[in-house]
Structure formats: C-alpha cells, structure tokens
Amino acid sequence: MSKRANPVFHAQVGRRKFAARAVELSAEQGEEMLVDFYRSAPKYARAVMSLGGLKVKEPSR
C-alpha cells in the first residue's frame, strides 16, 4: 500500500491503538528528526537506524 496514496494508517504502541498519518519530510527535516531521535534514545536509535542500513559514527571524545 502506498503511503502517498493513503497516508492514514492504524498504529499500536503497547496497548494504545490510534490512527496516524504519514508525512513526507524534506532531507533537512529528516536529518533533524534523526538527530533528535538519537539524542533522546541513542541505543534505540542506533538499533533502528541499523535496520535501515544506516551506520552511526560515534563522536570522538
């Protein structure tokens, strides 16, 4: 099913079920979203991004 043709879908997080809408992001918006996600939950973000084939380079200290 194409999210462009039908962007509304049903989602479930734990026991909570709700309708959601997919939106297209610009490259800049996508980058900002991934940075925010990584900052808020770095371990989870690395795992999710690796599923999509993205490699996360750890900052040097």
pLDDT of residue 49: 83
> pTM above 0.85?
no
Domain span at 39: 25-54
Position 41 in a domain:
yes
Q: Which residues contact 37 (CB under 8 A, 6 or more apart)?
A: 45, 48
Q: pLDDT, tens digit, for every residue of 7-44? A: 999 999 999 999 999 999 999 999 899 889 989 999 99
Do residues 23 and 7 make contact, with C-beta atoms less than 8 angstroms apart?
yes
Q: Which of 1, 2, 6, 37 is closest to 21 using CA atoms?
A: 6
Number of domains in the chain: 1
